[in-house]
Structure 1
Amino acid sequence: MGNISQFAGKTKPTPHRIESEEEALAIARELALRFSDRASERDLERVLPHDELDQLAQSGLLAISIPSEYEGIDVSNVVLAEITAILSEADSSIGQIPQGHFYVLEALRQHATEEQKQFFFGRAMAGDRFGSALSESGDKIIGDDKTQITGNGAGYRINGRKQYCTGVLFADWLAISALDAADRMTISFVPRAAEGVRIIDDWD
C-alpha cells in the first residue's frame, strides 16, 4: 500500500474508549438524539455538520471496527450496520459520511503491512478521520482510474482528480487510488493538508 508519510496533524482531545458493542449502540442512540435536533435545518440551509462530526469522532464510534490487537473492539458487521442505521435515521447526511472511513479501516485490515496497521489504526484510535477518494468522472467500472502515482525523489507524486468523495470535507487523511507506472492499482494515504491537495466543496 506504499510508504507511510509523516503525519502533520493538529492536536485534538483524546476520544472516548468504547469497551463493548452494547456501549457503542448506546452512544449511537445518544448521538442520534442530538443530531436529529437540527437535521432539517442543516439540509435546508446547507450547513455542513462539522460540530456533529467532531462529536462523532470524540465519541469513539469511528474506532469500533479496529481489530482488538490494535486496541479496538472489532464490532461485528451487524452492529456496524445497526449503528449506521441509527445515525442515518437521525440525519441521513451524517449517517453516510463514516462509510468511507470504515472502508479505509477495512482496507488496512486486509492489505496493509504491519507497520502501516500500527500507525494508521493508532491514528484512528486517536480520533483521526479517513475519507476515500476513489471515484473519477467517467468511470465505467470500479478501478478504471486515470489518476497516476509516480516516484518523486524519496517520495511519490499523485496527479489526478476525484469526485463523489463523500466525507473528505471532514477527513484528516485521504485514501487516494492511483495507477503506478506498471498500471497496478495503489491506495495512498495522504494528509489532508499535504501540498497540492485541493478539496472543492461543489455539491449542487
Structure 2
Amino acid sequence: MGTLPETKIDYSVHPRVNSTDPIPPRPRPSTPAHVISSDAEAIEIAERLAAKFREGAALHDREGLLPLAELDEYSQSGLWSINVPKAYGGPDVSYATLAKMIEIIAAADPAIAQITQNHLAIVGTVELDGTEEQKKLFFGWALQGLRYGNAFSEGKSKNVAVFETKVRFEGDDAIVDGEKFYTTGALLSHVVPIVAVSEEGHGYLVFAERDTPGLTVTNNWSSFGQRTTASGSVKLEGVRVPKVRAVKIESFDRPTIGGPVSQIIQSAIDLGIARSAIEDTITFIKTRSRPWIDSGKETAGEDLFTIAAIGDLEIRLHAAEALLEIAGRAIDKARADQTLENVSEATIKTGESKVLTTEIAILATNKLFELAGTRSTLAEHGLDRHWRNARVHTLHDPVRWKFYHVGNYYLNGIHPPRHAWN
C-alpha cells in the first residue's frame, strides 16, 4: 500500500474500461501455456504473479485500465488450466488448491481474479458435459493458453436462469442469436462460450471465437466496483460455429459439482478482497494513522479498541479461510464420487464458505476506514477500491439464500437446489 503515483498513461497501449475506442480480439498465444506439475507449484506461481499484479492494482482501478499484459502472463502461467484432467494432459489439482490460487490473485487484484472465474468454471463444465471429441478440443485450447470469456447472463430476462438467447442447428453448424450482459472476460478473451437454448428447450454452451462474424463485444461496464473486469455486453447476430462446439448442458439434471465449482471461485475472490483490505488497514494504522485523543497512547497501533478490532477481523478471516479449504475438499470428494449425498455436502459447505467470505469482505472493507481514520479516505491512497470491489462482487449470488439452504439441509434433510448460482 502506498500513495498512488502521478503517472502519464498511454491509453493506446493501456485501453480503458467503458471506452468507445474499439478493442480488437486478443492474438492467440504464440507458444503453449506452461503446464503446472503440482498443487505446490500452482500456489508458488500464484504468489509470484500476485506480487506483480498488486503493484498496479490501485492505478488500474483509478484509471479504469484493462489488464492486458497481466492477463497474457497469467493465462500463459498454467493457472488457467489447473482443473484440466490428467487424462487430457492437465495438472488436475485439488479444488482446495484452485480456490487458494484465486484467493491469492484476488488479494492482489480482484478484477483479474474474477476474469479467471468463468474460464475455470467452463473447463469444469466441459469435464461434466462434453463428449470425448469436445473434451479433447476444449481442454486442448485451455492448455494452449486460450482464454474463455463468457456470454451467459442476460440483463433483460425475468431471472438469471431464464435465457432468451437461441441456438438452432443447420447441418454441421450451430447458429446463435441473442444479447448478453455481465460478460466478464469476453472482451479480453480468445473464445466466448455462449449459453443458448434450442427450440426443444435444451441448454447449450456454444464456443465461438472472439472474432467470429456476428459476435460483438461492447466495452460498457460502468459499475463502481470490480471496474476492470470489463463485464459489459455481447450481441449475437447469426453467430455460426461448427456444431461440435455446442456442448449440451446436462450437469444440473443430475448430481454434479457444477454449482459448487462456480461458487467456490466467487467465495475465494471475496476472501482475497478481505485479506487485502485487512493488510492495508494494518499498514495504514502503523504508518499513517494518529492515536485517538482519549486513548492516551503515543501511536494508533497501541489503541486498545483498535487492537481488539484487528483481532476480531483476523479471527473472522481465518475462519473464512478454513471453511474455503473445507469446501474445496468436499468438492474433491464429490468429484471423485458424484452421489447426491456427496454433491449436496459440497454444495452446502461451499454455501457456508460464501456466507463467511461475504461477511468478512464487507466487514473488513468498512472497518478499514473506521480504524485507519479520515485520512485513509483520501483519493491518493486508493483504498476505497476495497469497499467498492467487496460491495459489488458480494452481490454475486445473494447469501441470504445460502442461510436458508444450509438450514433446510441440516434441519429437514432437504438437498439444496442444483444450478450455477448455488
Between 15-24 and 45-54, the greater mean CA deviation after superposition? 15-24
- Cα separation, 1, equivalents of 2:69 and 2:122: 22
Matches within 5 A, 1:78-97: 78-97=96-115
Structure 2 residue aligned with 1:195: 213
- Cα separation, 1, equivalents of 2:138 and 2:33: 15
Structure 1 residue aligned with 2:55: 37
Query: Does the 8 Å contact 2:149/2:193 carry over to 1?
Result: yes
Amino acid in the other structure paired with 1:56: Y
Structure 1 residue aligned with 2:68: 50
TM-superposition CA deviations, 1:40-88 (whole Å, max 9, x none): 0011111100100000011111011100101111111111110000000
Matches within 5 A, 1:1-204: 10-204=28-222
Amino acid in the other structure paired with 1:97: I
Query: Does the 8 Å contact 1:28/1:83 carry over to 2?
Result: yes
Structure 2 residue aligned with 1:6: none
Amino acid in the other structure paired with 2:120: F
Query: Does the 8 Å contact 2:33/2:77 carry over to 1?
Result: yes
Query: Does the 8 Å contact 2:28/2:146 carry over to 1?
Result: no
Q: Specify the SS of the correspondent of 2:181.
A: coil
- Cα separation, 1, equivalents of 2:137 and 2:173: 18
Query: Does the 8 Å contact 1:176/1:187 carry over to 2?
Result: yes
- Cα separation, 2, equivalents of 1:130 and 1:91: 19
Q: CA 1:23/1:11 → structure 2, altered by over 3 Å: closer, same or farther?
A: closer
- Cα separation, 1, equivalents of 2:59 and 2:103: 20
**Shift of the alpha carbon at 1:19?**
0.5
Return the TM-score normalized by structure 1. Answer: 0.92
Query: Does the 8 Å contact 1:148/1:180 carry over to 2?
Result: yes
- Cα separation, 2, equivalents of 1:183 and 1:108: 20
Q: Specify the SS of the correspondent of 2:182.
A: coil
Query: Does the 8 Å contact 1:143/1:185 carry over to 2?
Result: no
CA-atom RMSD in angstroms = 1.3
Amino acid in the other structure paired with 1:110: L
Q: Specify the SS of the correspondent of 1:131.
A: coil
The list of structure 1 runs, each at least 4 consecutive aligned residues, that deviate by more than 6 angstroms after superposition, is: none
- Cα separation, 2, equivalents of 1:76 and 1:175: 24
Identity, % of aligned pairs? Answer: 35
**Shift of the alpha carbon at 1:14?**
2.1
Kindly tell me the number of residue pairs found equivalent between the two proteins: 196
Any unmatched runs of 5+ in structure 1? 1-8
**Shift of the alpha carbon at 1:153?**
4.9
- Cα separation, 1, equivalents of 2:66 and 2:29: 22
Relative contact order, higher structure (CA 8 A, sep 6+): 1
Any unmatched runs of 5+ in structure 2? 1-26, 223-422
**Shift of the alpha carbon at 1:181?**
1.2
